Structure 1
Amino acid sequence: MGTESMGLRESKKQETRQLISDHATRLFIEQGFEQTTIAEIATAARVAKKTVTNYFARKEDMALDHHEEFTATLARAVAGRAAGESALAVLRREFAAAVERCDPVAGFAGPEFARMIADSPTLTTRLRELHDRREEALAEALAAAAPGDSPAIAPRAAAALLGAAHRLLFRRIQELTLAGEPNERIAATVAPEATYTFDLLEAGLEAGFGADSEGSADA
């Protein structure tokens, strides 16, 4: 009974968090991020102002409420890759799958959401921070599996290159979204561009961060 009560309580918390995020994002789109107050969000969600700040320490995280998933995606893919699969190979494959399903985490968030971010200096800055955090998490995952004879800077160098590629492709999706292209056409455009981008990285990264000769995964 106690476990069930805890589960219901946690479910209610998640519902409240999502409710606040949904109303906040709607107001941000309608009024602009900087112009929308915490009090307005609380009123729209029918909760106390303190409830809003309890669930969201930062106003921008009400709009970018999947930030934890975003920052973890690359590191999680690398940490969970199959034996013998390189970091580049798994990230290339994962990105292709994200494009195919038009995943919002990859940038397919729709024109209104993309415009909301583009029009807000605060959200634009926060998104850059999230890209940086994602790259840092990737570097940690690469370092955990790096060969012992690799230079100390190798995981960070590889993460910087892979992170830059994902950052570029994310911006490309946003650019096409803001230009009014539908998701299907964006996916058709970005898929070959992603192949080209990852191909540029392949020679350098496979040399130091590929699969080893015995088939076990390194970085």
Structure 2
Amino acid sequence: MEEGLRERKKRETRQRIADIAMGLFLRRGFDNVTVAEVAKAADVSVNTVFNYFRTKEDLFLDRGEETEDLLARAVRERREGETAVGAVRRDFFESLESGDWRYGMSEGMDLFAQRVRESVALQSRVRMLDVQREERLARTLAEESDADHDDPDPWLVSAQICAVVNALTRHFAIRQMAGEDPARIRADIGRHAERAFDLLERGIGDYCARPAPGALSLP
């Protein structure tokens, strides 16, 4: 019980620092805010900030671990009989319909994307996050499909899934930064996503399907 309280306080402190930092970054720009200013606004020391966040970029991308694991988690938690593509497709549309942040299609993402565009450091960090997400998905696909260590299929499938997700997210951000209504964009994205996932499913749709209970495995 005591350990649980301690962990909860740590999570709350981390979230408070991240929220304050994001407010400063969105108002003034990422490169115009120092870690010392974040620490002062959060009423903590600079060392405390770095105890929770390794770098300034991690302060901005405080949900980086969740984002990196997003697609791999969808595959790990897929339903009986559901394929890897089907699991990602379902998770994508659930997020799109609810306006959740995890696929970058929520309110306020235009300003978030603009701040990334303004900072070379953030652009580099986002690219690294994309690479790590693709690698994590590929390793999960390899584990879930019991692929040989030199089998390139998990990596090929991961690259295709990530390309679709990244293209849809980028399309949303560009249109929102141009001032279009997010609700209208999401409706259009839904149509584009249906087409994109249809194309994926025709090519790799049966890859890494989770067997139903009692189903016979084919040789």
The residue aligned with 1:64 is 61
Q: State the match for 1:172 in structure 2.
A: 171
User: Which amino acid is 1:137 matched to?
Assistant: R
The amino acid across from 1:184 in the alignment is A
Q: Which residue of 2 aligns with 1:142?
A: 141
Instruction: Report the equivalent of 1:183.
Output: 182
**1:92 alignment counterpart:** 89
- What is the aligned partner in structure 2 of residue 197 from structure 1? 196
Deviation at 1:217, TM superposition (A): 9.4
Name the residue aligned to 1:77: 74
In structure 2, the CA distance between the partners of 1:216 and 1:197, relative to structure 1 (3 Å rule), is farther
Q: Secondary structure at the match of 1:106?
A: coil
- Which segment is superposed worse, 208-217 or 13-22? 208-217
Match of 1:105 in 2: 102
1:206 aligns with 2:197: no
**Residues 72, 137 of structure 2: 8 Å contact kept:** yes
Cross-structure match for 1:117: 116
Rounded to whole Å, the distance in 2 between the matches of 1:74 and 1:42 is 33
Q: Tell me, yes or no, if the aligned pair for 2:144 and 2:208 is still in contact at 8 Å.
A: no
Deviation at 1:120, TM superposition (A): 1.6
Alpha-carbon distance in 2 for matches of 1:114, 1:60: 14
Structure 1, unaligned stretches of length 5 or more? Answer: none
**CA displacement 1:125-167 (0-9 Å, x = unmatched):** 2112111111111111110122658970001100010011111
CA distance in 1, matches of 2:192, 2:216: 30
For 1:206 and 1:112, how far apart are their aligned partners in 2? 35
- Of stretches 208-217 and 87-96 in structure 1, the one that deviates more from structure 2 is 208-217
Which 10-residue stretch deviates more, 139-148 or 58-67?
Answer: 139-148
Which one-letter code corresponds to 1:152 in the other structure? D
RMSD over aligned Cα atoms: 2.4
Q: Following TM superposition, by how much is the alpha carbon of 1:87 offset from its aligned partner in structure 2, in angstroms? A: 0.8
Cα gap change, 1:48 to 1:85, in 2 (>3 Å): same
Q: Is the 8 A contact 1:78 1:141 kept in 2?
A: yes
Rounded to whole Å, the distance in 2 between the matches of 1:32 and 1:148 is 45
Hey, what's the Cα distance between the residues in 2 that align with 1:149 and 1:212? 19
Where in structure 2 are there 5+ consecutive unaligned residues?
none
Provide the aligned length of Structure 1 versus Structure 2: 215
Structure 1 Cα separation of the partners of residues 6 and 206 of structure 2: 50
In 1, the alpha carbon distance for the partners of 2:92 and 2:130 equals 15
Q: Is the 8 A contact 1:83 1:217 kept in 2?
A: no
Point out the more displaced range, 165-174 or 149-158.
149-158
Q: Is the 8 A contact 2:83 2:207 kept in 1?
A: no
Alpha-carbon distance, 1:86 to partner: 1.0
Which amino acid is 1:40 matched to? E
Structure 1 residues 188 and 69, CA gap change in structure 2 (3 angstroms): same
Q: Give the whole-Å Cα distance in 1 for the aligned partners of 2:55 and 2:11.
A: 17
Distance 2:177 2:184 in 1: 13
TM-score, normalisation: structure 2: 0.89
- Relative to structure 1, the CA distance from residue 188 to residue 123 in structure 2 (aligned partners, 3 Å threshold; closer, same or farther) is same
Q: Does structure 2 conserve the Cα–Cα contact (< 8 Å) formed by 1:70 and 1:134? A: yes
1:31 and 2:28 aligned = yes
Letter in 2 for 1:64: L
Q: Calculate percent identity across the aligned residue pairs.
A: 40
